[in-house]
Structure 1
Amino acid sequence: MRSAIVLGAGMAGVGTALHLQQRGWSVVLVDRGEPGRETSYGNAGIIQSEAVEPYAMPRDRASLWAIATGRSNDVHYEVRSLHRHLGPLLRYWWHSAPRRHAAASRACAGLIAHAAPEHAALIEAAGAADLVRRGGFRVLHREGRAMQDAVAEAERLRARYGVRSRVLSPDALAAAEPALKRTGAGAIHWEDPWSVRDPGALVSAYAALFVRRGGTLLRGEAESLGPGGRGWRVRTADGTVEAEAAVVALGPWSPALLRRFGYRIAMVRKRGYHRHWRSTRLLDLPLLDAQNGTVLAPMAAGLRITTGAELAGPEAATGPAQLARAEAAARDLLDLGGPHENAPWSGIRPCMPDLLPVVGPAPRHPGLWLQFGHGHQGFTLGPATGRLLAEAMSGETPLVPAAPFSPGRR
């Protein structure tokens, strides 16, 4: 029986472990903590079937100036830490040019098409349907010009990819979401995405399914990964385990580990925040306030208010500025109660400069496989990229062309 160690029990790692297991592999899933407690826990909880094109860096002067001067809440940065991000950010800007972004979008759209079906199979097998709502989500636009642009963009995505959406007038949005105090210029309702009321619990449910099917889940430190008699080994709380293959699915921590093996991987590390509020009247569906770069998501713990991206140093203390602005914008839309937590959650989104995740074999180390860099879409894409990697490891025909995601791509 073929064997593998999967490092990282977030959505990408758990998805990979389950797909390898389905193909007859003996799999040990290793994490330093509980499954789904890091980046996979802290997102807005949306399985985004509408996200057929990856997030590009703005290239127009107005958007870049708004970010540079701090008027946009989509991105917040620390000047003293910006040099750490400059190289990856310049590559991100380069890959966001129209022609290169179009190529990345073709690859991303093919993968996104498999995201919901892959989740659906796991949700049913894990008995996790109570965590999932299949009603889409909405994007609120406060100003008329922004709403007009959003309508045109929704029509473009419908024509090119078949993405379904509805345009909601301010009155229609008020009827759909009575808790809103104001409805701006209306909203786009993306109809096909699913929302999850506890993202960490869904990852945990998938991990429990993996264990029920005979998989092994262990506490361990990824930094101990090294060559072993059978291929690769890692130390765990239960002793050293070995396998013929190892998968690095450590999200933002992947480049640091792989540096030990001679790989220099550029990554844009975006910090994000959220906090739950005890709102007396929750929203029916998640709502993205486009002007303020925040998602208001009804969760089991209350109303989760999320932020955009913060560019800071790895040792920098968490900062309240971006979340404070997001919470003030939310208070303008809803009657918020008190915060559920005194201190907000924060985590890192691992974004590749060329906009696509890294999925495939390490170029110079047989038996070492990579699965990370999903940016804002790890929660959405983890099971689909897990299948793509498991197919490559098993010698099967991939569900989508694998070359755009290859670790050796140029």
Structure 2
Amino acid sequence: MHYDVVIIGAGAAGLMCAATAGYRGRRVLVLDHARKAGQKILMSGGGRCNFTNLNSTPSQFLSANPRFCISALKRYPPQAFLELVERHGIAYEEKAPGQLFCQGRAREIVDMLLTECDWAGVEIRMKTSVETAEQKADHYLVATDHDRFTTESLVIATGGLSIPTMGATPFGYRIAEHFGLPVLPTRAGLVPFTLHPDLKSRLAPLAGISVPVTVSCRGMRFAEPMLFTHRGLSGPAMLQISSFWQPGDPLIIDLLPGHDLAEELGERRRERPQGTLQQYLAEHLPKRLAQVLAEWHGKDSSLQEYGNADIERVAAAIQRWQVSPAGTEGYRTAEVTLGGVDTRALSSQTMEARDQPGLFFIGEVVDVTGHLGGHNFQWAWASGVAAGQAV
């Protein structure tokens, strides 16, 4: 059976590419080994899908080739996808600046994409595993566990390695290597940290507590909430910085952002000398956390017993808390995969392999990774449209 375009992967990028190509009159087939299309969309954003970020610009993306994403993001900006959402009557809300979520369920985004594919005449085959993809004289031959297909354009939209329970595999990277494209080393991104046993046990009583922090590592800094867990540290702040962290790096965490703790404790010592460190901290932090910090860093006395050096020491411990994670939770819980198909081997205009005509790579399989907050979906839409307009 012959199709103008065969897309491997029925996720965000693959479905977007399929609809775009279908509307151009191309005969499109989408193949996926999963049971349902758009599985990562369905579980994203707590089931409500943070489908884009209005402030998505190239500066929110990591890549060995930082300029690669500029063209696709410029030609298909967040507003373009938002217009599609509005045309389908999907109610949405802005939870944090620029971050748009469905008011209802993420299923609405998947249904919208499937509807667009249906209107564009796209054929989708789920529960179909691709076994081989080979180049023939003027086409590609794709063999699955059910059938064989020929196509002029082969699009790889298989995603990365994150959340293997959702069916993630290295298939896209293997295809790239098979056709001679370089693949950069991959690792988990937007992922919680694990801690060494001693610190893990000390923080165990704080599991479930979330506080706003600033966290710094390798010159990057994020101001977001942090969550203490039974395994370590999570929450948006930790997920964001995890994409920049390397094993052995310390994280510098400010548990009281916006405060000058040394100055404020000095004032409190003068105004209420009988007060305690724990009393002060409890005014700004959850009580359990205030208690733990006071036990760790405070003196068993009122503030009048604190010298200037004591106050400076406490302020440094709380506002420049240095944590060296044991590692991350890895692909099991990672939202994205860093690294992937080297963008220097692809056209930034079309996502086509420079030395392999008719072969395209889009979405997470490519070495373009966004910050938390809807940027990775915006890359899926933009790269999907770029390839869909070229196949």
TM-score by length of 1: 0.50
Aligned length: 262
Question: What amino acid is the match of 1:366?
Answer: P
Deviation at 1:31, TM superposition (A): 1.4
Q: For the residues of structure 1 that align with 2:61 and 2:286, how far apart are their CA atoms?
A: 28
Q: Confirm or deny that 1:375 pairs with 2:282.
A: no
Q: For the residues of structure 2 that align with 1:238 and 1:387, how far apart are their CA atoms?
A: 29
Give the counterpart of 1:116 among 56, 74, 78: 78
Query: Any stretches of 5+ residues in structure 1 without a counterpart?
Result: 58-90, 96-100, 138-189, 275-286, 298-303, 313-321, 326-331, 336-343, 394-410
Q: Confirm or deny that 1:291 pairs with 2:215.
A: yes
Where 1:392 maps in the other structure, the secondary structure is: coil
CA radius of gyration, larger in? 2
Q: Confirm or deny that 1:194 pairs with 2:100.
A: yes
Deviation at 1:21, TM superposition (A): 0.8
Q: For the residues of structure 2 that align with 1:49 and 1:25, how far apart are their CA atoms?
A: 30
CA shift in 2, pair 1:296/1:128, >3 Å: farther
Q: Confirm or deny that 1:240 pairs with 2:201.
A: no
Deviation at 1:261, TM superposition (A): 1.4
Q: Confirm or deny that 1:212 pairs with 2:118.
A: yes
Q: For the residues of structure 2 that align with 1:5 and 1:251, how far apart are their CA atoms?
A: 16
Q: Tell me which residue corresponds to 2:165.
A: none
CA shift in 2, pair 1:379/1:296, >3 Å: farther
Question: What amino acid is the match of 2:39?
Answer: R
Q: Does 28-37 or 353-362 show the bigger shift? A: 353-362
Q: Confirm or deny that 1:269 pairs with 2:187.
A: yes
Q: For the residues of structure 2 that align with 1:199 and 1:242, how far apart are their CA atoms?
A: 37
Q: For the residues of structure 2 that align with 1:247 and 1:290, how far apart are their CA atoms?
A: 40
Q: Tell me which residue corresponds to 1:365.
A: 356
Q: For the residues of structure 1 that align with 2:142 and 2:18, how far apart are their CA atoms?
A: 16
Where 1:5 maps in the other structure, the secondary structure is: strand
Per-residue CA deviation, residues 144-198 of structure 1 (Å, 9 max, x unaligned), is: xxxxxxxxxxxxxxxxxxxxxxxxxxxxxxxxxxxxxxxxxxxxxx3x4423467
Deviation at 1:206, TM superposition (A): 3.6
Deviation at 1:345, TM superposition (A): 4.0
Where 1:6 maps in the other structure, the secondary structure is: strand
CA shift in 2, pair 1:232/1:294, >3 Å: farther
Contact 1:52 1:109 in 2 (8 A): no
Deviation at 1:114, TM superposition (A): 2.9
Where 1:266 maps in the other structure, the secondary structure is: strand
Q: For the residues of structure 1 that align with 2:9 and 2:212, how far apart are their CA atoms?
A: 29
Deviation at 1:212, TM superposition (A): 2.6
CA shift in 2, pair 1:46/1:244, >3 Å: closer
Q: Confirm or deny that 1:24 pairs with 2:35.
A: no
Q: Tell me which residue corresponds to 1:129.
A: 90
Q: Tell me which residue corresponds to 1:249.
A: 157
Deviation at 1:53, TM superposition (A): 3.4
CA shift in 2, pair 1:29/1:273, >3 Å: same
Q: Tell me which residue corresponds to 1:349.
A: 337
Question: What amino acid is the match of 1:20?
Answer: A
Deviation at 1:15, TM superposition (A): 1.0
Question: What amino acid is the match of 1:27?
Answer: V
Question: What amino acid is the match of 2:181?
Answer: Y
Q: Confirm or deny that 1:231 pairs with 2:232.
A: no
Q: For the residues of structure 1 that align with 2:224 and 2:111, how far apart are their CA atoms?
A: 24
Contact 1:271 1:347 in 2 (8 A): yes
Q: Tell me which residue corresponds to 1:7.
A: 8
Per-residue CA deviation, residues 362-391 of structure 1 (Å, 9 max, x unaligned), is: 223332222232312330132222222222
CA shift in 2, pair 1:371/1:225, >3 Å: same
Per-residue CA deviation, residues 255-276 of structure 1 (Å, 9 max, x unaligned), is: 22211112222254334448xx
Q: For the residues of structure 1 that align with 2:25 and 2:212, how far apart are their CA atoms?
A: 41
Contact 1:35 1:203 in 2 (8 A): no
Where 2:58 maps in the other structure, the secondary structure is: coil
Contact 2:81 2:381 in 1 (8 A): yes
Percent identity, aligned pairs only, is 14
Q: For the residues of structure 1 that align with 2:118 and 2:243, how far apart are their CA atoms?
A: 38
Give the counterpart of 1:45 among 45, 50, 55: 50
Where 1:24 maps in the other structure, the secondary structure is: coil
Where 2:7 maps in the other structure, the secondary structure is: strand
Deviation at 1:231, TM superposition (A): 1.8
Q: Tell me which residue corresponds to 1:258.
A: 176
CA shift in 2, pair 1:311/1:289, >3 Å: closer
Pairing of 1:317-328 with structure 2 (within 5 A): none
Deviation at 1:120, TM superposition (A): 2.7
Query: Any stretches of 5+ residues in structure 2 without a counterpart?
Result: 161-169, 193-210, 217-221, 227-233, 246-250, 254-284, 289-331
